[in-house]
């Protein structure tokens, strides 16, 4: 997965020429509880697996950027639907 800078760079470089797009930002709830109960290693494993799943799904949607932008936060840039 890309990092936060990739989102900023894509917006600065490509947003104007690509027109409309959707910026999707979301976090995983309950990660503190996972880390507290099972340890940071398990929490890191959960985040890594979610990253793999998010990236695989985003690829089917044509997302030019999929990034982990925080501890448990992910950001996707999706192309806008066209008529």
Residue 83 has pLDDT above 60, yes or no: no
pLDDT in tens, 37-76: 999 999 999 999 999 999 999 999 989 899 999 999 999 9
CA distance 50 to 2: 14
pLDDT at position 35 is 95
Q: Per-residue pLDDT tens for 8-42? A: 988 888 877 777 888 999 999 999 999 999 999 99
C-alpha angle with apex 7: 17 to 65, nearest 5 degrees? Answer: 80
Q: Residue 69: which of 43, 51, 44, 45 has the closest Cα? A: 51
Beta-bridge partner residues of 3: 68
State the first-to-last Cα distance of the chain, in angstroms, to the nearest integer.
Answer: 30
Write down the pTM of the prediction. 0.83
User: What's the CA gap between 65 and 23, in Å, rounded?
Assistant: 10
What does the pLDDT average to over 2-12? 89
């Amino acid at each position: 997965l890309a990092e936060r800078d990739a989102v900023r760079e894509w917006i600065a470089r490509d947003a104007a020429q690509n027109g409309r797009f959707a910026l999707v930002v979301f976090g995983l709830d309950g990660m503190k509880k996972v880390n507290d109960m099972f340890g940071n290693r398990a929490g890191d494993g959960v985040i890594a697996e979610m990253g793999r799943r998010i990236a695989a799904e985003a690829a089917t949607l044509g997302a030019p950027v999929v990034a982990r932008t925080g501890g448990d936060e992910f950001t996707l840039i999706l192309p806008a639907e066209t008529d």
